[in-house]
Amino acid sequence: MLTGSFLIAAALAFAPTDAPPVELITQVRGFVEDFEAPQKAKRDAAEAGLLELGLPALGALPKLDENASAEARQRLARVRTALEQLAAVKSIETSTVTLQGSFKFSEVLQKIRQQTGNPIVDYRRQFGQQPEDVPVTVDFDRTPFWKAIDQLLDQTKLTLYNHTGEEGIGIVGRSDSLVPRVGSAQYIGAFRVAAVDLNARRDLRDTNGRSLQLTLEVAWEPRLKPVVLLQPLGKMKALDEQGRAINTAHTTNTLEHNVQPGSKSLEIPVQFALPDRTSRRIAQLDGELTALVPGKAEEFRFTGLDKPEKQELRRGSVTVTIDRTAKNNQLHQVFMRVTFDRGEGALESHRTWMLSNETWLENAAGEKTAYAGLETTRQSENEVGLAYLFAVDGSLADYTFVYRTPATIARLPIAFQLKDLELP
C-alpha cells in the first residue's frame, strides 16, 4: 500500500474547480494504491480498471509522492497518457445542439454557444451591414454543430467569415448568388469539408501542362485549435460519372498545411490530371486528411526561481523543465524546455503554435506579469527550448513562473466523401 504522504499529495492534486465526485476519487485512489500490490495480476487489474472508468477518471488521477515505486509511476503515466489521448480523440467528435421552437436569431446563437462551447460572433456591423435580429424557427434534436449552423444560416440568408481575428467564427450577410450551405459539404466529427472551387488548365504549348485543381475548404469547430492538416495524396480517389478514374497529379506525396493561430478554416488544393472532355463531373471523391490536434492544456507552476537547481514537472505526456534563470540588465530570463513523449510532428521548426502558449510570472498577491520577449533556443522532433524575458522588480524568488501547454498531441484521421462536383 502507499504511504500516508501519498494520500495528502492525492488530496492536494484535486483543484476545487475540477470537483470530481468523492466516490470517483475513492475508486481511483483504490486502483492507484493497487499499483503497489505484490500480485502482478492485481496490479494489471488496477490499470485496466482505471482505463475502464474512462475520461471521468482523468480529472481524478493523483500525483504520486517520492515513496511510490517506479512501476507505480509507469503505470499511472500509461493510464494518464491513454486517457489524454482519448480526450483528444473525443474533442473532434461533433458538438450537438438541441433546441425547438421560434426564437430571435440572437437567442439561437446564444443557445448554440452555450451547448457547444463554440464562440460565434455576429460580425455584420464590421462589414457595414445591419444586424437585424430576425425571428427564426428551429428544430434541432442533438443536431451536429455544423449541420445546425448551416441550417440556421440558410434560413437567415447569412454566411460565415472565418478571419475575424477573434476566438470565434463570424456571421455576415451573403449575396443572393451564393448556393445554400446545406447539402454542399460533408460533416466529419467536428470538421466540415466542402468543395469550393474547380479550375481546369490547358497549356497549349506543353502536353504536360494540363491539370484540374479542386480547392477544398476544411473548417473546424472554433473550440478546436489544430496545428497542421496532413494531406496524403495517395488517399485521394476520384471517379467521373462513367466510373472512370480521374487521377491525382501525384500519388505518393503527403502535403502539410500549417494552421495559423486563430484560423478557423483552411483551403487545401488537390491537383488532378485533366480528364477527358467527355467527363462532365466528379461523381465521387473519396479522401482522407490527418489533423494534429493538441489536447487539454495543463498548468505548470514553478517557485524557487532564484535557485540554481534545475526544476522539472510532468503532466501526462509532456514534461516542462526550468533549466536556469539569469539577469540580463534590467530583465530576468527564464530558460525552459517543453518535451513531449510523442511530438507527432507538431513541434517541427516551421510550426510556431507553441509560441502562443500562455506564460506569465505571478507574485504573492496573484498579480500577473506578461513576458516582455521570447526566443526559441532549440527545436527538435519532440522538444522545444524557450527563453522568456520578464521586466519585474526585485528577485525572481518573489514570483511563480506559470506555463500552460497541451499535455498531449493527437493524430486524427478525417475521412470524407464528396459527390456530383460539376467540372468546368
What does the pLDDT read at residue 168? 85
The pLDDT tens digits for 238-297 are 999 999 999 887 777 888 898 888 889 999 999 998 888 899 999 999 999 999 888 778
Band the pLDDT of 199: cuts 50, 70, 90: very high
| 191, three cell numbers | 470538421
Report d(CA 326, CA 402) in Å as an integer.
Answer: 17
More reliable by pLDDT, 256 or 81: 256
Question: Please, what is the average pLDDT of the chain?
Answer: 87
The pLDDT tens digits for 162-189 are 888 777 899 999 998 999 999 999 999 8
HSE of 410 in the Cβ direction (CA atoms, 13 Å)? Answer: 22
CA 80 vs. chain centroid, Å, equals 18
User: Is the separation of the CB atoms in 168 and 187 below 8 Å?
Assistant: no
Region 28-40: what's the mean pLDDT? 94
Helical axes 40-53 vs 70-91, angle rounded to 10°: 20
What does the pLDDT read at residue 294? 83
Domains present along the chain, CATH in parentheses: 4-91 (no CATH), 96-183 (3.55.50), 192-294+411-422 (2.60.40), 297-407 (2.60.40)
Region 84-113: what's the mean pLDDT? 88
Range among 47-56, 291-300, 313-322 with highest mean pLDDT value: 47-56
Query: Taking every pair of C-alpha atoms in the chain, what is the biggest distance, in angstroms?
Result: 82
Band the pLDDT of 213: cuts 50, 70, 90: very high
Region 130-154: what's the mean pLDDT? 95
User: Is the separation of the CB atoms in 37 and 28 below 8 Å?
Assistant: no
Which residues contact residue 175 at a Cβ distance below 8 angstroms, ignoring those fewer than 6 apart?
none
Given a cut of 90, whether residue 336 has pLDDT beyond it is yes
HSE of 111 in the Cβ direction (CA atoms, 13 Å)? Answer: 21
Region 203-212: what's the mean pLDDT? 83
What does the pLDDT read at residue 144? 95
φ and ψ at 38, to 5 degrees? -70, -25
Environment class of 115 (CB within 10 Å of its CB; exposed 0-12, middle 13-18, buried 19+): middle
Which residue in this structure is represented by grid cell 507574485?
A: 363
Report d(CA 243, CA 104) in Å as an integer.
Answer: 47
Region 108-126: what's the mean pLDDT? 93
Q: What is the amino acid identity at position 56?
A: P
| 202, three cell numbers | 490547358
What does the pLDDT read at residue 190? 92
Report d(CA 50, CA 57) in Å as an integer.
Answer: 7
Residue 255 burial (CB count, 10 A)? 15
* H-helix or E-strand spanning residue 351: none
What does the pLDDT read at residue 92? 67
| 111, three cell numbers | 443557445
What does the pLDDT read at residue 160? 93
Q: What is the amino acid identity at position 110?
A: Q
Band the pLDDT of 19: cuts 50, 70, 90: low
What does the pLDDT read at residue 82? 86
